[in-house]
Structure 1
Amino acid sequence: MPTPERTASTDVRMRGFTQRAEVPTALAWIDAHTPLLPAESVAVDEATGRVLLQEVIAPIAVPEFDRAAMDGYALRGGETTGAGEYNPLEFPIAGHAWPGRPFEGEVPAGAAIRIMTGAPVPHGLDAVVPAEYASEQDGRLAITRAVAPGQHVGQVGEDIARGSTALATGRRLRPQDAGLVASLGLAQLQVVRRPRVRLLVTGNEVRAPGTPKGPSEIYDANSVTLHGLVARDGGLLESHQRLGDDPQIIAQALAAPGADVVLISGGSSVGAEDHAPRLLAELGELAIHGIAMRPSSPAGMGRIGDTLVFLLPGNPVSCLCAYDFFAGRAIRLLGGRPADWPYPRTRATVARKIVSQVGRVDYVRVKIGADGVEPLALSGASVLSSTTRADGFVIAPAESEGFGPGTDVTVHLYECL
């Protein structure tokens, strides 16, 4: 893994960055410090969306008995040969079978059983004639269609064989996966523990939405954005604190136990009140501060003990970008999810040039129109509305000067998979 430039001993407030880490270096640091979290047991009806840590071995077969796949009449398929519209065959009806109430006893040769979908097929019978090809009168059945042995019958283990692997380790569980587990009679599953995430917001000027504010104060948009992103990536919000700019209060919130990941929004740059990088260096390790990308160049990361700390810029678009590139990746990896973005992708042609600069990664918000992809904003890290007006974003790599008209690019769409 590339060794990141250490800036822990350097206070960059009011001085600026002398150098910035490359994005691949930051990603490599994250990947090296995000071990899979341990298991926890959850109820099967709360397991959707969780990542399976222990494979599910079927303790029973599904179904455990031969069952009717149709409403109709169970009989021996070999005895229906020759049945047709002009040659109905008749059988005495020896009883009936319902789901949960099977027919008891032996069925005589040449007889049939009235049966409903899901009911056990009586021993010795091997087929079901659907009700629409049968008629019943005075205890006798007439059928107008032959059925082969096994037809319209669900066989033992047809869905899941006993002892087979029903679900493999590492699977992110969908509703139907949880339902399959329930069909095996299992009430609990071993899943990866959700990463506990502490959200810290700095800035004396920041106020909670819905509360009064002064003319020079702003409402806290980043908390709401980050709250949704953390939930999207499988994190569990441990706490959410608005701290102002008091270094002692920020230090206490950073160092408190109980979180796997700490996100600190604001105070990550080079201003006089940007205390977070210095405090992280004093309390633990400031591994990276300043990244060659736009926006989000003041982003940083490090550790306090086993807790990962991410410095997210206060400008809303920079905050979103830094989270998606770095903090979100860590949360996803800790929780057993894929590292890559959970955004759907599409290929499209550039209609108007996307400008970038060699040596940095550019996160470019774009619209997709009838003529192709157009950049919506190349700067304006505080203009959050650019992300709501955009269809998605394009990444211009560090070695690129952008993309000219007619170039095919990958667009990451602002939608969640």
Structure 2
Amino acid sequence: MTPRPVQAKDVRMHGFAQRSEVEVAQAWVDGRAGARPLPAQAVAVEESAGRVLAADLVAPIDVPTFQRAAMDGFALRGAETEGAGEYNPIELPVLGQALPGRPFEGTAPARTAVRIMTGAPLPDGLDAVVPAEYATEAAGRIAITRPVSPWQHVGRVGEDIQAGSTVLPAGRRLRPQDGGLAASLGFAQLDVVRRPRVRLLVTGNEVVAPGATKGPWEIYDANSVLLRGLIARDGAELESHQRLGDEAAAIGAAMCAPGADVVLVSGGSSVGSEDHAPQLLAQLGELAIHGVAMRPSSPAGMGRIGDTLVFLLPGNPVSCLCAYDFFAGRAIRRLAGRGPEWPYRQRRATVARKIVSAVGRVDYVRVRLEGDAVEPLAVSGASVLSSTTRADGFVVVPAESEGYGPGTELTLHLYD
């Protein structure tokens, strides 16, 4: 479904005549954030963990690049150990040794051996390694009590990776071992998707910074801490963080200033007389959606100013979290190359006590997990942030459902 641009109707002190469906709002996000991936940037391979690879990583070399010992022991010709046993040891002279980075010089003739350590180059003419525990060395000779096949305990050229092969695909979120693999191929830098730059604007004359002196009618700014953690989780970087009060001119200037890929406006998105953000977004760019059929977060909105995506997040903390995860976080994750999916672990659980909803809206319900059963927390109101710390996770009730009865199996999204 394609959303129609919202006309610049002022809903302050009037309320919403209608609300967009969650699916429509998410389709708008996917159409804008998914259509223009951010450009690549080069980062040091040591800093690549957690970043998203912008292009296929193609191996420039074979791994191993030389035949190398996979065990500590003695390099020899496998065929010459045939028949070796406890009662029939085969003896060979030891010509020298090979160490990692310090190969044995020369070619070993038939029926000879070279002492070798793991990772050392296999001497020319030899094709196997007998482990040290199956050979006894004395007076320059070894007695072998177990046969080995040709190429046994040897890492052969290209056995792990062949030159020219794709070892990591574009779009992969790099793990530490991926960076290690890239380093083993000689890459000092990797091309990764640039992190989205997110500007965080906090509105409200009543909002003060944590640790500041608080007046009797003021509240501490919890949303900034919440959103900064979510922004980092989803692979973005904070471009700036501004507390702006309720002055429309300051909010508008901050919304349209260059330098950000995404602007998050915390507060000022509803229908109060001081809720300026929707009208400002409509005047400065496009207010695509304002008001969503969901609980909480129904006053959420979104649009764009030029190429910058702007999300209007309700000031109540749980609504802010919910709107971020459904919409703003989805956009940030797409821009960061991570895909739209929620970064929460999921598990199946059974409803212990009825979860009540209403047809026509999506419900984000905080729940507690007891064994394999969930029950909703007895809370109301989107300002009860402690409900998210007391909850083990949340369930989503779709718009076409009136809720879930006891015994219903559903998907639980875990906060941890």
TM-score w.r.t. the length of structure 2 is: 0.98
After superposition, give the CA deviation of every residue in 1:199-248 in whole Å (9 maximum; x if it has no partner): 00001111111221112111111001100101111011100111111111
- Name the residue aligned to 1:56: 57
Work out whether 1:181 is the aligned partner of 2:182.
yes
Q: How far, CA to CA, are the matches of 1:17 and 1:163 in structure 2?
A: 58
Q: For residues 372-383 of structure 1, what are the structure 2 equivalents within 5 Å?
A: 372-377=373-378, 379-383=380-384
After superposition, give the CA deviation of every residue in 1:132-153 in whole Å (9 maximum; x if it has no partner): 1111111111111111111111
Percent identity (aligned) = 73
Q: How far, CA to CA, are the matches of 1:160 and 1:396 in structure 2?
A: 47
Query: How far did 1:371 drift?
Result: 6.5
Query: How far did 1:378 drift?
Result: 5.7
After superposition, give the CA deviation of every residue in 1:282-315 in whole Å (9 maximum; x if it has no partner): 1111110000000000000000000000000000
Query: How far did 1:317 drift?
Result: 0.2
Q: For residues 6-405 of structure 1, what are the structure 2 equivalents within 5 Å?
A: 6-34=5-33, 35-370=36-371, 372-377=373-378, 379-405=380-406
TM-score w.r.t. the length of structure 1 is: 0.98
- Name the residue aligned to 1:410: 411
Aligned 8 A contact 1:8 1:278 in 2:
no
Query: How far did 1:377 drift?
Result: 4.3
Q: How far, CA to CA, are the matches of 1:86 and 1:210 in structure 2?
A: 80
Q: How far, CA to CA, are the matches of 2:88 and 2:384 in structure 1?
A: 79
Q: How far, CA to CA, are the matches of 2:234 and 2:50 in structure 1?
A: 10
Q: How far, CA to CA, are the matches of 2:213 and 2:126 in structure 1?
A: 76
Query: How far did 1:80 drift?
Result: 0.5
Query: How far did 1:39 drift?
Result: 1.0
Amino acid at match of 1:29: W
Aligned 8 A contact 2:3 2:25 in 1:
no
Matched pairs, number: 414
Q: How far, CA to CA, are the matches of 1:379 and 1:182 in structure 2?
A: 52
Query: How far did 1:8 drift?
Result: 3.5
SS in 2 for 1:181: helix
User: Which has the larger displacement, 373-382 or 201-210?
Assistant: 373-382
SS in 1 for 2:377: strand
Amino acid at match of 2:26: L
SS in 1 for 2:364: strand
Unaligned stretches of 5+ in structure 2?
none
Amino acid at match of 1:412: H
Q: How far, CA to CA, are the matches of 1:380 and 1:3 in structure 2?
A: 28
Unaligned stretches of 5+ in structure 1?
none
- Name the residue aligned to 1:3: 3
Q: How far, CA to CA, are the matches of 1:233 and 1:8 in structure 2?
A: 31
Q: How far, CA to CA, are the matches of 1:85 and 1:371 in structure 2?
A: 57
Aligned 8 A contact 1:201 1:264 in 2:
yes
SS in 2 for 1:33: helix
